[in-house]
């Protein structure tokens, strides 16, 4: 599947977009996720699980997603491969979130979705939610 079609799927999601990405700095993916969050015509749950070290960086787009209303959770996860569940379709890639041209994007079988959901929910339980205030400060916000 092409990266453009993958982004279109995020844009047309009806129920959920669950993302594990160690470091999100690709503006195309960030914009697709943000659009899914702010679209009032659909009720799409967008949750991003990320690694604290990368989420704390100024150029991490997870902070702007937290400010736009997405659930952003930080947890120590040992995987460098990113996973995205769009409704019932699971995708994986080692480059996802880091580069604008993802060559290794794979669609995983439906049976993998339940395994991913079990793992994802467990990792969310072990993680910590990024607050709007933290996200604001991380992107260089200043309070006067």
pLDDT digits (tens, 9 = 90+) for 48-100: 999 988 877 777 899 999 999 999 999 998 888 999 999 999 999 999 988 88
User: What is the average pLDDT score of the chain?
Assistant: 90
Q: What is the mean pLDDT of residues 114-130?
A: 92
- The SS3 assignment for 5 reads helix
Domains of the chain: 3-138 (3.30.870.10)
Predicted TM-score (pTM) of the model is 0.90
Cβ atoms of 107 and 91 within 8 Å: the answer is: yes
Task: State phi, psi for 118 to the nearest 5 degrees.
Answer: -60, -45
**Lowest pLDDT segment from 28-42, 85-99, 105-119, 128-142:** 128-142
Radius of gyration of the chain (CA): 14
Cβ atoms of 107 and 89 within 8 Å: the answer is: yes
Q: What is the pLDDT of residue 14?
A: 93
């Amino acid at each position: 599947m092409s990266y453009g079609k993958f982004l279109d799927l995020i844009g047309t999601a009806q129920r959920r977009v669950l993302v594990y990405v160690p470091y999100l700095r690709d503006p195309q993916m960030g914009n697709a996720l943000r659009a899914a969050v702010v679209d009032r015509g659909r009720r799409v749950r967008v949750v991003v699980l990320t690694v604290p070290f990368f989420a704390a960086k100024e150029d991490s787009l997870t902070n702007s997603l937290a400010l736009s209303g997405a659930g952003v959770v930080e947890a120590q996860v040992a995987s460098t491969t990113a996973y995205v569940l769009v409704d019932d379709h699971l995708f994986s890639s080692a480059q996802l979130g880091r580069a604008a041209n993802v060559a290794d994007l794979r669609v995983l079988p439906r049976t993998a979705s339940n395994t991913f959901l079990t793992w994802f929910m467990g990792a969310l339980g072990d993680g910590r939610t990024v607050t709007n205030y933290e996200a604001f400060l991380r992107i260089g916000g200043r309070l006067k």
